[in-house]
Amino acid sequence: MTDFEYTVIKPFRNFPIIDFSSPEDEKRMREAISRVDSKLGEEYPIVIGGKEFHTDRKITSINPAKYDESVGVVSKADRELAEKALETAWEAFKEWKKWPAWRRAEVLLKASEIMKDRAYDLSAWMVKEVGKNWVEAWADVAETVDYLEYYSRQMLKYAEGQPVHQIPGEKNEYRYIPLGVGVVIPPWNFPLAILSGMTLASIVTGNTVVLKPASDSPVIGYRFYEIMMEAGLPDGVINFLPGSGAEIGDYLVSHPKTRFIAFTGSKDVGLRINQIAAKHQKGQIWIKRIILEMGGKDAVVVDETADLEAAAEGIVVSAYGFQGQKCSAGSRAIVVEDVYNEVLELVLEKIKSIKMGDPIEKENWFGPVINNAAVQKIMGYIEIGKKEGRLVTGGKYLGEELKGFYIEPTIFSNVDPKARIAQEEIFGPVLSFIKAKDFNEALEIANGTEYGLTGSLYSKDRNRIERAKEEFHVGNLYFNRKCTGALVGVQPFGGFNMSGTDSKAGGPDYLLLFMQAKSISERVI
């Protein structure tokens, strides 16, 4: 690609999400799954500055839908390799920061084309490695393509700088420069989209990174790294460093040469990162910048004016999409008492039609949770829920029967708004049904947690909708639709309170978090 090819770029458009109803799409997906099956169990290296490292200690990625199946084996880094990755990233930064914005954008746009060509295979990898159904997996790839396209265009805008007032006798400029070397720590639940979003924002702005993929999804992380290198990214701009959070995660976060940390994950880990990063280390010459996207205890609110059928559908999809393993999942249904029983019955009817099983099959919309630790945590909350509410449906672990980490879609009704299952993030298929006297109380309950990520209101009352716009305190608010599924460039994503630093990924100001502004004045002689 040349400079000329991208002097005029078409307006940004989201990559289409398909539902696999087309026989051709289904055929291509099944072929992709077969190709992935032929590669299961392969080994993958650590990569620092383009050089591969193989260690004796390994991370084995397991298919959560079939826990005796290895997806891949990845070398596990130690602190010595973490140190080397940081040093290598700083060396690469010397040249990468000099690349003009259009050349960095060009790499991302080329990667986008590669990603589109491999969308079925990448989707198949996610079906296998994290148990996503076909549509959820495709949406993850589509979001990644969107980040590649959107951040490329945004960087070209920022490269122009900002206009400042000019005074006689001086030339004044306001431009953006990169921060330096960052550590990117993504989660496993969006193993391509969130990993790529934080990484791409880092590098398109001129930074270099140490990328520590989640231990439950390192293979997909490596596939992303491969594509970026194939697109022409120089060695050392991304350094692929799988390893444990306790061993290398804390080390990288506390390191005096780490300039910034981009993290998505749980509240507890995010707060720990914030605490560690805030402590000044010997030789550190900056205040580390922290970009955190953490948890949620998101609510779908339904009032008596709502389309109850639509509300019930929104509740089910919000609560059980990807088995509730989303920070945006609607784990609380807050329904006014006039329609509470009716909405609950509608939701129960819809749950009956959910097909559970290995997502390798298209019809299985509901798959496994990620690992045994998740099973133990979720089942622990289900036991708590039995004391805090009425178990209406679900509540069972089906792993022995299905040979995977399967937990039934679960509902507790008559849940007190302050109950643990209504306050704490479970990150699984557990939904709390909460009764409100009226809309006023429903809104109060919705705001009554330490989180503030997503929320949804089903209502036909215009005054209530307008009021919720002001008073429903979440970073992403939706009306008469589910509370999951934010689109890049359409619904920039990030939350308030303990949900993070409101980073608004996929938004027009997200890249600013990875840059610093420089004011330049030259006296005209």
DSSP H stretches of helix in 97-180: 101-117, 119-130, 134-158
Q: What tokens does 27 get?
A: 């055929």
How is 35-102 classified by DSSP, letter by letter? Answer: HHHTTTTEEE-EEETTEEE--SSEEEEE-TTSTT-EEEEEE---HHHHHHHHHHHHHHHHHHTTS-HH
Nearest-angstrom CA–CA distance, 478 and 320: 17
Q: Which amino acid is at 67?
A: Y
Query: For residues 243 and 404, what is the distance between their CA atoms, to the nearest angstrom?
Result: 24
Chain centre distance of CA 371 = 18
In the chain the first and final C-alpha atoms are separated, in Å, by 41
CA of 258: how far to CAs of 2, 180, 194, 197, 369, in Å? 33, 8, 20, 19, 33
Q: Is 418 helix (H, G, I), strand (E, B) or coil?
A: coil
293 catalytically annotated: yes
Helices (H), 389-497: 399-402, 420-423, 439-446, 462-471
From the candidates 293, 388, 408, 425, give the one annotated as an active-site residue.
293
Q: Sign of the C-alpha dihedral, residues 309, 473, 265, 177?
A: positive
From 106, 149, 327, 483, the catalytic residue: 327
Give Cα 467 to chain centroid, integer Å: 29
Which position has the token pair 């100001």? 509
| Whether the Cβ atoms of residue 192 and residue 137 lie closer than 8 Å to each other | no
400 is catalytic: no
Contact 133, 359 (CB under 8 A): yes
Contacts of 455 (CB under 8 A, 6+ apart): 298, 299, 300, 301, 446, 472, 474, 476, 477, 478, 483
DSSP 235-277: TTSEEE----IIIIIHHHHH-TT--EEEEES-HHHHHHHHHHH
CA Rg value for the chain: 23
Alpha-carbon dihedral angle through residues 132, 133, 134, 138, given to the nearest 10 degrees: -40
Please tell me the distance from the alpha carbon of residue 15 to that of residue 193, in angstroms, as a whole number: 13
DSSP secondary structure letters along 200-240: HHHHHTT-EEEE---TTSHHHHHHHHHHHHHTTPPTTSEEE
State the CB neighbour count (10 A cutoff) for residue 522: 10
Q: What is residue 280's three-state secondary structure?
A: coil
Q: Give the DSSP H or E segment for 434.
A: strand 430-436
Residues labelled as active-site residues? 293, 327
